[in-house]
Structure 1
Amino acid sequence: MQKDIIDLQLFEEFYGGQPQAVIWLSPVWSAGNPPQIVDFAYSYANQQGLEYLQVTAAALNTLTVRTSRTLTDELRTSFYNEMLHVYETCIQSASTIYNPALNKYAHVLRSKLRGGILSVVQDITTEKKMIDQLQQQKRSLELNTRELDRQKTLLDNILKNSSNGISVTEAIRNEQGEVIDALTIIANDAAVKASGLPRDIYLTKRITEIEPSILSTPFYQGTLNTLKTGTPFLYQYQLEYTGNWIEVTSSRLDNDHLIHIFTDITTIKQSQLQLEEFASTLKTVFDATQTGMFIFVPEYNNNNEIIDFRFDLVNATMSSYAQQSPAALMGEPGSKWFPGYLTNGIFDMCRQAYFSNKVKRKEVYYHTDGLDNYIDIQCVKIGNRLLVSFTDHTNLRKSQLKLQQTVSELEQSNRYLEDFAYAASHDMKEPLRKIITFSNILKTNIVSGTTEEDKRILNRIEASARHLNNFVTDLLNFSYISQQRLVKDTVDLNNIVQAIVSELELVIEEKQAKITVSNLPVMQGNARQLEQLFHNLIGNALKYASEQPVITINSSLAPAELVAEKLPNHAKNRQYMLIEVMDNGIGFEQHFAEQIFDIFERLHTRSQYSGSGIGLSIARKVVQNHGGTIWAKSEPGQGAIFYIILPA
């Protein structure tokens, strides 16, 4: 352990005049072996050091780091460790501390000197407080700046996004201080838009330049009064230069500035004028319409019960039923002119509409009070009144009754015609069979002596007879489907189609046709009719093939939207199947898609394709009998697709 002798006189010469506190501390060693530094004793302090430590020179000699009352426990440990490190490493240290015991801030520089630790302490309490104060002022200024920025942003957003126009106008005075003009100095986009002027004109031209006559307007006088008294002013004003209407609120900002908040009410004004015009037109229509219209107000008895209604407003159509003018009915009870309305249901309907606030409407046969009319009458409560309107459709109703009678007669006639067609077709079958049979016998027996022309005539007789036989057969089938009561049973459409393919086996082999059938549904239906449906569709596909026929039959669950489109009156709680019959035949123009289902309609001559023109009519009739629908899509040369929707 090195022992350095302290020369206090020398220390005083060096450090006594320093403006900073200078303190020299010597190590305190333990008595053990080897000895260790256990404390540091205050051995020297200049005058500034004594003042900083708040001790006298005599008291300094008994003071150590561990016993100093001017150090907190935290600082005591920190000082000891710091000085021990400097002593052992000879490395200078510098730190800034706050001593709560002294309530002082200091910058401390420590270095090893003459076997002890020399501490130079610069009291920065005043500077620290000034810095803290400046930082506090800075933070306050930043907060104020942010608040101002927020308020400015808020104001900018209000000005920018407000649907109302906001502007500031500066008064222009003469030498006597009188307001002679004004200039808009601030305006948001809504204000510029409402003005109808470009922004550069709106903010650079005086108001007398923009609108020369403004000085004589009530608006200008009102704003002058606001500028003088501070009383806000509200006014609706039409701009002379644009024709727009604005509603303005003027408030005083100071003696020379006014804030204007205004709304463009041009649309409202136009609507108001339109409403006034509409009201006038409505009254004209009300008076001139052929529909009877009137306003009823209720009349009460002493028990607060409605016993009648009085006319409050009546149009000419209504008053004509009483053979009076509208004015004659005004204020009169309905029962005075139409006593029958109290007992024929109209009064009860009016009363129900009045109490329930619901629209009531019904058809009434008014055959009292000298009238014999069918009227469609409606009651609507409006406030505490009742609007009643009615349409007289006596002629229409009587025509409808007459039409219903005619339709009934036509239906009876159609039934007779269907019976006749069925009977006639049935009776023609046997003579046609005999004609075909005798033609064949005649061709067989008369071989010699017949010319080629005779043979050609016999062939034509036979062909015509066969065609007529096919026609009568199809007509019988159509009549049968139209007349037959539909008896349904469980039908597997797969079996139906398989039987038809077997029946047409020779034609299919002859044309080398390819028929693909997916899994078809099992449904409730008439097997014979469904067989005719698919027989006609598959037969047509084979008949109208331009090359090797390819026929595909698919089925799937029909989409609800498609069912709703094609069957508007379908059963909402049922599912439907969509069946598609596709071929690669000659096709047809799409505008013929409905015509092909009409009876006796043909798109080709018999010399081109055989047939009676009844097959697709039978197909549609079968589908309709089963509560479904059928339609087709095609293009020439692209084949055809027949779509069928049937209840699943």
Structure 2
Amino acid sequence: MQHPVFAPESGLSMSQEQASLWQQVLQHSVSGLVGFIAERDEAGQISNLRYSFINKVALRDTFSIGRQADEEQVIGRYVTDFFPTIRGSVIWRTYLDVIETGTAQRLEQKYTLNGRDVWIAQSVAPFGQDGLLLSYSETSELHNTAHRLTNQSALLNEILNSSPNAIAVFEAIRDGAGKLVDFRTTLVNRMVERLSGLPAHSFINTQLSQIHPLTPESFERLNNLLITGESVHVEHFVPGASVWLDVTLTRLNDGFVATLQDITAAKQAQQQLETAIQNLHRSNQHLEEFAYVASHDLQEPLRKIVAFGDVLQHQYADQLSLSATDLVGRMQKSANRMRSLVNDLLTYARLSNKPDGFGLVDLNHLIASVADDLEVTIQDKQAEVTLDTLPTVWGDTVLLRQLFQNLLSNGLKFHQPGQAPVVRIEGHVATPDECRTYLSATDASQAGRRYALIDVVDKGVGFDERYLDRIFTIFQRLHPLNQYVGTGMGLAICRKVVDIHGGHITAISQPGHGAIFRLLLPMQ
């Protein structure tokens, strides 16, 4: 015959079989379960708690450190037998409060179990008359995860607030039918405060329409952002603050993230650049006007001076004294030099604009053609001109012809007294190191771009490299006019041509040891 057993938690009696099943359920629970019965003193105050039930989990956790016990050794014993110092602790006061008030409580505390620190969540509930049921489980994983999330959140907040851009997050506000009506601000970083001059909390839960009035067009654009997920990028001017903002909107769930960058300085620089470009165009226009005037109005008086000089030399030669004949000859030389100077100046002025006819130029063919044009000078001076095999470059044929004609003429002109000029033109594809040496960092780093290195070498009089910058400046001469005729424009024109091609020109020389004019020209 089975005897009924009283179940305090339900107030019902159950059979021995049911009680056994109930015990198995409690023993196999993944949570620790402990039952206590309060004992009171003569004054009715709770003096101790006696173990009435403990499952395997609680037995393992409670008695596995420094002492071994089984259920029979624990049931009926006082808590203070195992934990003498428990009175006065937070958990003790909680136990008593639950028994006295009949109100369940929950608390989470850190303990040391099996040599490690763990977090335990405890539920303490009244259990019958003066009874207490303690249910607990380890929440270390959850607590550690929450701790990590808190740290990550703090880190992300710090990153967010360290951003040089203003960042704000908005979530959609929809009506009962799910239709979009507005957006609500959920997060802003410090840069929003700096741009607006308002504290961050004043934006939270504020509707977007209150911050920035939404036109039908802008509202439709935001609605499309939520539908398509395609980012929106605009530049916006804030009149009151005189600030330009670069705004990027990116969908986030049912809302978006707004990233705002202050581009006022860049806009001002762009405006200054546009003004400078306009001024440059205006200056170029004036230069073209000057070129027209110079080619017509300045050339005409020179032609007349030369013509009148020719008349004096040929028709009135017998009427001129030796002194007058000398003066007329000097006048003719000066007029012709002035004509050459004006022509060179015109050539330089016309180089202000980059031509449209860039293409592949075979330097071997081009320089051979230049040498043919200078054949008379080469023969008169008995010069030796040699040309190595050269790379093909990318440029304008007319400008490159002018460049090499000036350099070759230079080599023929500035030869050692009493010696025939010797000029050699050689070249190869520039190495990366050579590009880095002679080109700007921007040009040298252009992916896939190659350059030809061309040397125009002569055995002439040379020059002191202290004057290297001067020789490429207009009207600069290092040698007296009575020794070497010229206008001082040739090398300035060379530099202008090379600059138009995005290349580089320099020179290597010593007085009396000739010169090397080194060019880097793009090959594509």
Residue by residue over 1:143-166, the C-alpha shift from the partner in whole angstroms, topping out at 9 and shown as x without a partner, is xxxxxxxxxxxxxxxxxxxxxxxx
8 Å CA contact retained: 1:623, 1:646: no
Cα gap change, 1:232 to 1:629, in 2 (>3 Å):
same
TM-score, structure 2 as length reference:
0.54
**Counterparts in 2 of 1:341 and 1:391: CA distance versus 1, 3 Å:** farther
2:166 to 293, 318, 332: 293
Mapped partners of 1:610, 1:476: distance in 2? 19
Task: Give runs of aligned pairs for residues 486-635 of structure 1, distance below 5 A.
Answer: 486-487=356-357, 493-520=363-390, 527-546=397-416, 548-559=420-431, 565=439, 568=443, 577-588=452-463, 593=468, 596-607=471-482, 609-623=484-498, 627-635=501-509
The CA distance in 1 between the partners of 2:509 and 2:253, in whole Å, is 62
CA 1:383–1:300 in structure 2 vs 1: closer, same or farther (change >3 Å)? Answer: closer
Write the distance in 2 (CA, Å) between the matches of 1:599 and 1:305. Answer: 69
Give the SS at the match of 2:214: helix
Picking from 220, 225, 235, the partner of 1:364 is 235
1:335 to 202, 209, 215: 209
Q: What are the residue-to-residue correspondences of 1:193-212 with 2, within 5 Å?
A: none
Shift of 1:464: 1.6
Give the 3 Å change call, closer, same or farther, for CA 393–525 of structure 1 in structure 2.
Answer: closer
Residue 596 to residue 347, structure 1, CA distance change in 2 (3 Å): farther
How far did residue 494 of structure 1 move?
Answer: 3.7
Shift of 1:379: 6.0
The offset of 1:526, in angstroms, is 5.3
1:640 counterpart = 2:516: yes
Deviations 1:412-434 (A, max 9, x none): 44223213223323443343233
CA-to-aligned-CA distance 1:432-456 (integer Å, 9 cap, x gap): 233234334434535577364x455
Displacement of 1:473: 2.0
Residue 49 of structure 1 is matched in structure 2 by none
**CA spacing shift, 1:545–1:314, aligned 2, 3 Å:** same
Shift of the 483–312 alpha-carbon distance from structure 1 to 2, 3 Å rule, reads: closer
1:420 aligns with 2:295: no
Query: How far, CA to CA, are the matches of 2:202 and 2:359 in structure 1?
Result: 70
Amino acid at match of 1:478: Y
Aligned pair in 2 of structure 1 residues 595, 310: CA closer, same or farther (>3 Å)?
A: farther
- Higher alpha-carbon Rg: 1
For the 8 Å contact 2:248–2:259, the answer to whether it is kept is yes
Q: How does 1:315-334 map to 2 (within 5 A)?
A: 315=190, 318=193, 321=196, 324-334=198-208
Structure 1 CA distance, aligned partners of 2:357 and 2:401? 14
Provide, for residues 573-607 of structure 1, a one-character-per-residue CA deviation record: whole Å limited to 9, x for no partner. Answer: 77654433222334445575555444444444535
Seen in structure 2, the aligned counterparts of structure 1 residues 634 and 574 have a Cα distance that, compared at 3 Å, is closer
The answer to whether the 8 Å contact 2:182/2:209 transfers is no
**How far apart are residue 310 of structure 1 and its match?**
1.0
User: 1:353 touches 1:380 (CA, 8 Å); kept in 2?
Assistant: no
On the 8 A contact 2:475/2:488 being kept in 1, the answer is yes
Determine helix, strand or coil for the equivalent of 1:340.
coil
| Post-superposition CA distance 1:115-150 (Å, at most 9, x none) | xxxxxxxxxxxxxxxxxxxxxxxxxxxxxxxxxxxx
The residue number in structure 1 matching 2:66 is none
**Aligned mates of 2:410, 2:292 — CA distance in 1:** 24
In 2, are the aligned partners of 1:314 and 1:330 still within 8 Å (CA)?
A: no
Name the residue aligned to 1:261: none
For residues 270 and 312 of structure 2, the distance between their equivalents in structure 1, rounded to whole angstroms, comes to: 60
Superposed counterparts of 1:458-469, under 5 Å? 458-469=328-339
Q: Secondary structure at the match of 1:330?
A: coil
Higher relative contact order (CA 8 A, sep 6+): 2
Taking a change above 3 Å as real, the CA distance of residues 342 and 569 of structure 1, as seen in their structure-2 partners, is farther
State whether residues 294 and 346 of structure 2, in contact with CA within 8 Å, keep that contact through their aligned partners in structure 1: no
Kindly indicate whether the alpha-carbon contact (under 8 Å) linking 2:415 and 2:459 is maintained by their aligned counterparts in 1: yes
Whether the aligned pair in 1 keeps the contact of 2:160 and 2:189 (CA below 8 Å) is no
**Equivalents in 1 of 2:363, 2:191: separation in Å?**
66
Query: 1:601 and 1:349 mapped to 2: Cα distance?
Result: 67
Matches of 1:352 and 1:604, distance apart in 2: 75
Fraction of identical pairs, as percent: 25
Structure-to-structure mapping, 1:319-468, within 5 angstroms? 321=196, 324-340=198-214, 343-344=217-218, 348=222, 362-366=233-237, 373-378=243-248, 388-394=258-264, 397=267, 400-401=270-271, 404=274, 407-408=277-278, 410-443=280-313, 445-446=316-317, 450=321, 452=323, 454=324, 456-468=326-338
For structure 2, the 5+ residue unaligned runs are 1-111, 118-153
The within-5 A match list for 1:249-288 is none
Are the aligned partners of 2:184 and 2:205 in contact in 1 as well (CA < 8 Å)?
no
**Residue type of the partner of 1:645?**
L
C-alpha distance in 1 between matches for 2:289 and 2:373 = 30
Q: Report the RMSD for the aligned CA atoms in angstroms.
A: 5.1
Alpha-carbon shift at residue 470 of structure 1 (Å): 1.0
